[in-house]
Amino acid sequence: MTAAAPVLQGLYGHSIPLYTWQPEHPENARFVVQIAHGMAEHARRYDRFARHLTEQGAIVIAHDHRGHGRAATSGVYGHYGDQNGWQAVTEDVWRVHQFALQRWPQLPHFLFAHSMGSFITLSSLLEHPYQLAGLILSGSNHEPPLRVRAARQIAAFERWRQGPRGRAN
C-alpha cells in the first residue's frame, strides 16, 4: 500500500514530499527501510522495490530530493537550491530519518541509498548521529584521491562558468 505521508519542512522553506509503503498488516511490520534515490530519479520510481520489501515485512519511506519528482519546484530539474544546496539536500535525508524514527521507534531502521543518493547519504552520515541497523549503498564508488581532487576542480570551474542554475548535460 502506498500513501502520501506528511510533507516535512526542510531548510530554506523547502517542502520535503514523503511517500510510505506499508505491509497489509502494518502492526506486524518487522523493520523500516528509508530510500534515498539517485540522480534524475524520484521516490516513486522505487514503487516495485518498496512493494517487494513490504511483502517481507518492511515499512518503506522515501522522499523526493530537491529538484526531483514532486520537489522539482524551481523549474530546473535536478537543482538543489541557490544557496547551500548540498547542505540542504543532505539535511533533508536526516530529517526524513528523524521522522521515521519518531513514527516507528520500536523497529530497526535501514537506509538504502542509490547512486547520487549514496553520496548524499554518506555526507549526511558524517554530519548526524543516525540510528541505523544497516546501510545499503547501491551504485556508489570509491575513487582515488587524485581523481577526486581533479573532479572537484572541474566541478568548481563548471559551477563558476554556468552559475548556480547551470546544467551538466
Note the pTM of the prediction, 2 decimals. 0.81
Q: Where are the alpha helices (DSSP H) in the chain?
A: 47-55, 85-103, 116-127, 145-162
Question: How far is it, in rounded angstroms, from Cα 154 to Cα 141?
Answer: 19
Class of domain 2-141: alpha beta
* Among 114, 168, 123, 167, CA closest to 141: 114
90-139 residue pLDDT tens: 999 999 999 999 999 999 999 999 999 999 999 999 999 999 999 999 99
pLDDT band at 146 (very low <50, low <70, confident <90, very high): confident
Q: What does the block give as the cell for 148?
A: 577526486
Q: Dihedrals φ, ψ of 158, to 5°?
A: -65, -40
For the chain, domain boundaries: 2-141
* 30-77 tens-digit pLDDT: 999 999 999 989 999 999 999 999 999 999 999 999 887 777 777 777
